[in-house]
Amino acid sequence: MILVADCSALVALSVCDSLNLLEQLFTSIVVPETVYNEATRPDKKQAQPLKNFLQGKVRQVNLQDYVFLDAFADAGETEAMLLYKQLSADKLLIDDRRGRKVAKINQISTIGSLGVLLAAKEKGLIVEIAPLLKLIEQSDIYLSPNLIATVLELAGENRNR
């Protein structure tokens, strides 16, 4: 299975030291150059782990192809969707709600960082999601309380443990 990744979800997985789960769930992980450049900017807290993880996973994007976009799409999202189409990928890793809606319009199958954690737990790759969510919450990544509660419920974990 081929996974094309956008930046924000990669950062979230890096924050909770879970990038390795991607390699256990997917046969190939790729990113467009724009996503790589965004994720590894020196001012990004997770730049070095992402630089290490993404080594050998960067791909060129044919900008002659097209996807339907809205007025708010950024270059990384756009190139990730184009690369998904070019590679006939299986999933697009993206956390941005608006970006996921745009992907749906383009018939692109998505998974978010929390979906990766749920899939990993389902396959027995991790025992608990709650400690990983706590790490994400302690970063500058915002997760709504409703989303956290839903993920913990889906994982069969009690929030108040």
Q: Is residue 6 assigned to a domain?
A: yes
| Exposure class string for 127-138: b at 16+ Cβ within 10 A, else e | eebbebbeebee
Amino acid (one-letter) located at 53: F
pLDDT at 63: 65
Arithmetic mean of pLDDT, 130-159: 89
Arithmetic mean of pLDDT, 28-33: 95
Kindly tell me if the per-residue pLDDT of 52 is higher than 50.
yes
Q: Is residue 147 assigned to a domain?
A: no
pLDDT at 161: 45
Q: Is residue 135 assigned to a domain?
A: no
CATH number of the domain at 83, please: 3.40.50.1010
* Count of domains forming the chain: 1
Q: Is residue 139 assigned to a domain?
A: no
Instruction: Report the alpha-carbon distance of residue 41 to residue 5 in Å, rounded.
Output: 16
- DSSP 3-state helix, strand, coil percentages of the chain (rounded to 5)? 50, 10, 40
Percent of the chain whose predicted confidence (pLDDT) is above 70: 91
Higher pLDDT, 99 or 119: 119
Q: Is residue 161 assigned to a domain?
A: no
Q: Domain range holding 96? A: 2-114
Span 58-111, pLDDT tens digits: 998 876 665 555 545 677 788 898 899 999 999 999 998 888 888 898 899 999
